[in-house]
Amino acid sequence: MPETFIPTIIDVEASGFGQGSYPIEIGVALPDGQTACFLIKPHEEWNHWDAAGEKAHGISRELLAKQGKSLSVVAQTLNTLLAGKTVYSDAWSFDSSWIALLYHKAELPQMFKIDQLQTLFQEMHYELWHPTHERVRRDLNITRHRASSDAYLIQQTFLRATLMSKGPQ
């Protein structure tokens, strides 16, 4: 029986949506089940802030100032962790833009590729995704809306939906 592909998932929390928004936290779920999470100290030019976003993810400006890492440290760490890999996002248009902004302001090349999670979907995934996502959230008791827990939830939903779409073995 062929092994199930386990994708590396990336998720980004941001200061808000739209023009002027920027990444404030990046989470990654690796194929071995490990997760990594990085709070980002905003670049001095980044001022946009959406209070509704803060309420959703619970990350305050004060937390970023105290615990956030510099853009270059986060970019270098991601490059070390993900070099040469393709990582997947369920919100590719947002996440890839925010990651590109991180690397642009850090003045470093991005050493990994981000692709849409949906490129891995079979037709069955689409109808299984939402109910499976909620079931996995409950089963894993994931209540926190943060980048690494979201990345892990997305990865586990993908795996469960993949197994379900294959049917009984």
Local confidence band at 55 (pLDDT 50, 70, 90 cut-offs): confident
Evaluate if residue 169 carries a pLDDT over 50.
no
Q: Using the Cα atoms of residue 100, residue 80, residue 106 and residue 152 in order, give the sign of their dihedral.
A: positive
Residue 60 pLDDT > 60: yes
Q: What is the DSSP letter of 33?
A: S
Question: Is the pLDDT at 144 greater than 90, yes or no?
Answer: no
CB 65 within 8 A of CB 96: no
pLDDT at 91 over 90: yes
| Mean pLDDT over the full length of the chain | 92
Average pLDDT over residues 37-66: 93
Mean pLDDT of 90-115: 97
Let me know: does 116 contact 127? Beta carbons within 8 Å: no
Burial class of 167 by CB neighbour count within 10 A (0 to 12, 13 to 18, 19+): exposed
CATH 3.30.420.10 fits 9-166, yes or no: yes
How far apart (Å, rounded) are the C-alpha atoms in residues 115 and 96? 8
Distance in angstroms (rounded) separating the CA atoms of residues 123 and 100:
30
Nearest to 8 by CA among 59, 69, 83, 68: 83
Do you know the residue count of the chain?
Answer: 169
168's CB contacts (< 8 A; 6+ apart) are none
pLDDT at residue 107 is higher than 80: yes
- Read off the pTM: 0.93
> By C-alpha distance, which of 148, 42, 28, 115 is closest to 80?
28
End-to-end CA distance of the chain: 9
Cβ proximity of 36 and 9 under 8 Å: no
Amino acid at 121: F
Question: What is the band of 1 on the pLDDT scale with cuts at 50, 70, 90?
Answer: very low
For residues 90-94, give the mean pLDDT.
Answer: 95
Task: Report the DSSP beta bridge partners of residue 14.
Answer: 23
Q: What is the pLDDT of residue 156?
A: 95
Backbone angles phi, psi at 93, to 5 degrees: -60, -40
